[in-house]
Structure 1
Amino acid sequence: MKVPKAGAVAAVTLLVLAASGCAGDSEKPKLTIGIKFDQPGLGLRESGGKFSGFDVDVARYVAKELGYEPDRIEFKQVYSSDREVMLQYNEVEFVVASYSINEKRKAQVDFAGPYFTAHQDLMMRASETGINKPEDLNSKTLCSVTGSTSAENVRSKLAPKAGILELGGYSECVFALKDSTLDAITTDDAILAGFAAQAGNQGKFKLAGLKLSDEKYGIGVKKGDEELRTKINAALRKMVQDGSWDRFVQANFGAAGYKPQAAPPISEGS
């Protein structure tokens, strides 16, 4: 048997190590982030697979601070009704999806943030004149999304006699509003402004301008994952301090004429 020279052995060893290193890089898992796919201005999957919106920009910024470039991010669609389940079963690492922080949700998941303040409002057809205050909703039919806080707020506080149609997504509510199946859509003003500003919708709808609630958006993480929550909070603070938050607001809401409140302070107890 011919014994290879030491130099040849070393060369082979280096090649093996290099190959294994390349394989490790290619097999590095992607960061999976839950977002909405049907909310223009916040989280939208456009034709061709491109993602846009304020939440998308925030998610990418946070991911970069965690060490992930855009090509290492995988966006996964979440619905209002399944965000907690997606986190609990590790389907996503975190959720950036107009996710209002409240006590019921905090019992199931933890939140970084808040990073945005929205207000529950109404969107109706531009010709609508019969909705001027919350009490007017008692004789109206509204649409919201299953699992959102908006429908519950109407039922329990604002207009207990209102008819409420809960659908799977806000796009479905918009179609129903166009068809005069209902009188208004109720959810956060940031979401409604995005739909009102979409091409094809401009001039057809209007927002009531009623601040029916304060909605603090947070980034949802799995319950007990304090390390990830702390890192995301640090990224959010940096995002505000370096001016990125303001740039994201202008890029995504400027055309709609929607002006949100200033960035809220990040709370360690979210």
Structure 2
Amino acid sequence: MGLSWQQGPLSAGAIGHFLTPEPLPERLLFAERLRRRMRVKFNGAWIADSENVILLHEPGRYPVAYFPREDIDEQSLIPSSKVTHHKDLGDTAWYAVHAGERTTERAAWEFAALPGYAADLQGRIAFAWRAMDAFYEEDERILGHAADPYHRIDIRNTSRTLEVRLGDTLIARSEHPLVLFESGFAPRWYVPRADIDQTQLHPVDGQTFCPYKGLCNYYDIGDARHAAWSYTNAYQEVDRISDLVSFEADKVEVSLDGTRLHLEPGQSVVPHGVDRGLDIDEVKAH
């Protein structure tokens, strides 16, 4: 999502291209100041607190926050003998993170032999997101990954007619669906439940989590598994889609003004796990 994830301009599956006389390298990394105060909590203690975070956008990855060493509690970092190699940024030294009675191995890292062009990351440490208790901007918990300033969601009304069928069965017909435009994704169409034959929706166990929209529930339709989904309690920022239903165009027939929609290449979503210690009530209240 955003700059380097899904089909963003720095991702491997970008849908656009840069208008340059010479081809760009296959991989472009982008680093910038976050310009937000960011904090890290581990075992109930604040181990990092900085207004000088660098955000690294790397193709195919969520953005990662790098903290200057002087803004980290040095006692929380225990050097490890583990060294790995990053294809663009060289040797990577790993640390265990310690606070109180708790220690987690390979929970932080630092680039130990950066090339000159990547000097912005010199002397900076990144923390493994799910190994920490939580990340915060000011006093608000940030979920999923460091906030991507290039990620955007717009929701629009439309008077176009959306129909959903499975074989000869009409599942839904709406003349006022909502369309959600999200960075790096094709448009997603959401239908009010009043326009759906809800006897055709069969809830399935399990939820996924989106850092921008909340917890997602899924439905089977006939033999089509996970053919529809709904954010029944979407975050306030995207509340307009709360409890509406969207349908997978590769699993059921979805038509817009009579033209069948198809799943676009590169649109398969890798489910995002829920952060450590994050319960359902906290996600709903976010």
Provide TM-score, normalisation by structure 2: 0.26
Q: Flag the structure with larger Rg.
A: 1
Higher normalized contact order (CA 8 Å, seq sep 6+, divided by chain length): 1
Higher strand share: 2
Task: Answer 1 or 2: which has greater helix percent.
Answer: 1
